[in-house]
Structure 1
Amino acid sequence: MKKLFRLNALAFMALFSLFLLSCNDDDSNIMEEEMSTELNIVETAQATSDLSLLVEALIQADADLVATLSANGPFTVFAPTNEAFANLLEALGDDYNSLADFDTAEEKELLAKVLTYHVVEGTAALSTDLTQDMRIETFQGENVSVDLNGGVFIGDATDASAAVVIPDVDTSNGVVHVIDKVLLPQEVLNALAPPTQNIVETAQATAALSLLVDALVQADADLVATLSSDGPFTVFAPTNDAFEALLNTLGYASLSEFDTPEEKALLAKVLTYHVVSGTAAYSTNLNDGMMIETVQGENVSIGLSGGVFIGDATDTDAQVVIANVATTNGAVHVINKVLLPQEVLDAL
């Protein structure tokens, strides 16, 4: 298997960010002159010299994407420039000198996931339809985010957003926005650097989550075994500071003081309120106002204004301080507060 599946994710993203270059005004003017509303999305890309690598990628993925994007739609497409694709190939290393090097079935499927992450089905969204912090579900299944500070920027699962260099290109079956970076979903990042530890092992290897591990053991409710099983799970993992703040509020010196059956049961309810079973939900899967049912039975809420926030039964939300930690059996989001369900508040 090529370097694509052995590349360290952090190194990949750091390297990738070095190659992010915007099209200059002259290039933009040339592209705008080449585009025509009488053409569909694929024909528009074929007629635009600086989108030729996008056309090559659609063909190379071998997933009927050309036929799909030639259909009635409507679609919204974020179209990376040739330079954006060249930057991606450069970041992937010597095994990927061209898009033709995506030649195995596994690599073609991965390329298709990248491409469908640039497509929104069922709407032709102009830049005037976009709002700050908007989350848009893509054909691939994960969301992209919108940032309108200083321009129009499209966020993916990496730390570097794509800038829209030519917005609102009308076609016969939708709208194209030309962007200066290839967008990458979390699913692809996980394929680039597959995780090697499960949720419990990840927490055990993270110093700032040692009290979470202590709590799982202290609750004595098979939670360590459960969160080591296949899953998938989504876990909102409170930091040590978050647990210490809760202990201070409750008047407990340590987690070991949850030593009666009633206290252990209460601690288990707190912990299972941080677990979502049956899905590995990354930040690219979340929407503002979303309600998510936990293993404990009550919901947590999602807030996306100014960050990612998790709401519980109290008046204070937890903030996600580290998002999208991939594990072999799910996703972990590190938060700065212990979440409390109404059941626990009533018991307290």
Structure 2
Amino acid sequence: MRLQNLAVLAAFVSVSYAQNLTAFANALQSLGATTFGSIASNLSSTPQGQTAIQTLLSGGNFTIFAPSNDALAAVPESVTSNSSALLDVVLYHVLPGSFSSSNSSTPFLMSATFPNHTLGRTLLNSTESEGNVSQVLAWTKEGNTISFLNQPTNVSVVNSTRVEGAQIDIYLINGVLTSPPTLTALVSNSTNTTSLGGLLNNTFIAGSDGSNTTLGNYLSQGTITAFAPINAAFSAIQSSLSSLATNQSGLITVLQNHLINGTALYSTEIANNTSQTSAAGETLHFSTNSSGTFVTSGSASAKIIQTDLLTSNGVVHLIDNVLVNLESDPAAASSAFASATSAAATETRAGPIAASATGPNSGSSTTSGGGSNNAAGALIMNLHSCTFSVATVISFVLGAYMI
């Protein structure tokens, strides 16, 4: 971004902001990320863009993942010519707080070694969820390479610098980061969860107001954590599922015991011998040993085999077994959701996501929450008020969508 291009933007900011903006432009130029700088400058044409840039240059700590010029050249014109879409792209590349493990002018990105992850909340809020969820970004280190998770193509960090006079670290990356998809899109596009994808896409729920929607859309409202059984897990319990063929209430309870309602629980917040409350009001207990991390509901237990699959309204963890628990406690579910909603209202999203000592919806551990909405939360808790064909649900799980 050429310095003379900053004149328009500088009119909207104070002298100190303008100084930071000049240093910001110089830092991007030193990395060869001039296209990203030009995009940031062009955002000044909208009030939302002006607000975002002033927030970034306010003097607080920020971490920016700036795509290279080559990476941004591949962004379709439908995005680059749409100021709103372009702003969303930029906001998903900016995280409040510091993620650096170095105080030098060349910062080094903090990163857990694979299979562990580092996660942070970006400035982008979800447009899919009523909960206004702060979208999360995840990355890990394998060998000497720091790469991002949940991306359609491999994206990694290739260089870094610190903005002179400001608390901003910039990391040059070789791709453009894609924000999380919906829950339905995520499980439908994974070869491990085609059974669940078929269930979410083809089970239609009728609400008390006569409206009709898919189960996937239903579960995309409000913030949730989902423990999603893989295809083989469904196949292994055919007899148990068949016994539920005439029991809609039981099937719904089983589904709810795979969900945490009102909060997103990431891998960095799951500790040994801790617990959460499911959307059915039952305890989800976590334990870790040399074989891995397990989640237990009632007498059913499953190993978590893949973590931190990000969605637009929460997070999914894949498990190797179906948690067939027919018990529920609506009062406990309602209380846990209320606690999660209250905590989300005061959530601080700067810096890495990690377990805290106290908080909502938990036994001996907690999450930092993701934000939610009372009406959306009520939808999940009141799933029993909806109607659908249990036989159809089971046929999708055990039938054509099984691989």
TM-score interval, normalised by the smaller of the two chains: 0.5 to 0.7
Map 1:1-348; keep pairs closer than 5 Å. Answer: 42-45=24-27, 47-48=29-30, 50-62=32-44, 63-64=49-50, 65-86=52-73, 88-89=74-75, 92=76, 95=77, 102-103=80-81, 107-123=82-98, 125-126=100-101, 127=108, 129-132=110-113, 133-140=117-124, 141-169=134-162, 171-174=164-167, 175-186=169-180, 208-209=195-196, 227=215, 230-233=218-221, 236-246=227-237, 253=239, 255-258=241-244, 266-277=250-261, 286-290=266-270, 293-298=277-282, 300=284, 311-313=295-297, 314=300, 316-320=302-306, 323=309, 335-341=319-325, 343=327
- Output the CA distance in 1 between the equivalents of 2:258 and 2:33: 44
User: Contact 2:254/2:326 (CA < 8 Å) preserved in 1?
Assistant: no
* Closer/same/farther in 2, CA of residues 54 and 269 from structure 1, 3 Å limit: same
> How big is the shift at 1:118?
1.6
- Tell me by how many angstroms 1:296 deviates: 0.8
Opposite residue 48 of structure 1, the aligned amino acid is: S
Instruction: Indicate the SS of the match to 1:142.
Output: strand
Q: Distance in 1 between matches of 2:240 and 2:232?
A: 12
Quote the RMSD (CA, aligned, Å): 4.8
Specify which structure has the higher proportion of helix.
Answer: 1
Relative distance call for 1:342 and 1:72 in structure 2 (3 A) is farther
Name the SS for the 1:139 alignment partner.
strand
* CA distance in 2: counterparts of 1:181 and 1:259, whole angstroms: 47
CA distance in 1, matches of 2:251, 2:62: 48
Q: Deviations over 1:12-34 (max 9, x none)?
A: xxxxxxxxxxxxxxxxxxxxxxx
1:286-316 Cα distance to aligned partner (Å, 9 max, x none): 3422576432113547899xxx977233553
CA contact (8 A) 2:65 2:170 kept: yes
Q: Aligned with 1:138: secondary structure?
A: strand
Q: Distance in 2 between matches of 1:316 and 1:334?
A: 9
Instruction: For residues 55-109 of structure 1, give each alpha carbon's deviation from its aligned partner in whole angstroms, at most 9, with x where no partner exists.
Output: 11112334124333322122111222212211x32xx3xx46xxxx734xxx322
What residue ranges of structure 2 are gaps of 5+ in the alignment? 1-19, 102-107, 125-133, 205-211, 329-403
After superposition, the Cα gap between the structure-2 partners of 1:232 and 1:163, relative to the gap in structure 1 and judged at 3 Å, is closer
Secondary structure at 2:66 match in 1: strand
Q: C-alpha deviations, 1:167-213, integer Å up to 9, x for none?
A: 343532232222221212115xx6xxx97x9x9x99xxx86349968
Matches of 1:110 and 1:210 in 2, distance apart?
27
| Structure-2 separation of matches of 1:230 and 1:322 | 21
Contact 1:120-1:138 at 8 Å conserved across structures: yes
Given that 2:162 and 2:170 are in contact with CA atoms closer than 8 Å, whether structure 1 keeps it comes out as yes
CA distance in 2, matches of 1:79, 1:115: 9
CA shift in 2, pair 1:135/1:267, >3 Å: same
Which secondary structure does the structure 2 equivalent of 1:77 belong to?
strand
Tell me the secondary structure at the aligned position of residue 123 of structure 2.
coil
Q: TM-score of the superposition, structure 1-length normalised?
A: 0.57
- Structure 1 residues 128, 45: CA separation in 2 closer, same or farther (over 3 Å shift)? closer
Find the residue that maps to 2:32 and give its secondary structure. Answer: helix
Task: Flag the 1:302–1:58 CA change in 2: closer, same or farther, 3 A.
Answer: farther
Which segment drifts farther, 66-75 or 45-54? 45-54
Once residues 342 and 55 of structure 1 are traced to their aligned partners in structure 2, the CA distance between those partners, rounded to angstroms, is 54
Q: Matched residues in 1 for 2:83 and 2:286: separation? A: 34
The residue type equivalent to 1:143 in the other structure is V
- How far residue 119 of structure 1 moved from its aligned partner, in angstroms, is 1.5
Specify the code of the residue in structure 2 equivalent to 1:181. G
Q: Secondary structure at 2:153's aligned position in 1?
A: coil
Alpha carbons 2:111, 2:146 under 8 Å: kept: no
Tell me how far apart the structure 2 counterparts of residues 315 and 74 of structure 1 sit (CA, whole Å): 41
Q: CA deviation at 1:335?
A: 4.4
CA contact (8 A) 1:156 1:184 kept: no
Deviation by residue 1:238-293 (Cα, 9 ceiling, x = unmatched)? 3453134235xxxxx463334787xx6554422221245568x6xxx834225764
CA distance in 2, matches of 1:182, 1:155: 11
Deviation of 1:155 (Å): 0.8
Distance in 2 (alpha carbons) for counterparts of 1:131 and 1:111: 30
SS of residue paired to 2:139: strand
Of all paired residues, the percent bearing the same amino acid is 23
TM, length-normalised to structure 2? 0.50
Q: Secondary structure at the match of 2:268?
A: coil
Q: Label 1:301 to 1:167 Cα distance change in 2 as closer, same or farther (>3 A).
A: farther
Report the residue type matching 2:220 in the other structure: P
Partner of 1:32: none
Q: Structure 2: how far apart are the matches of 1:255 and 1:118? A: 43
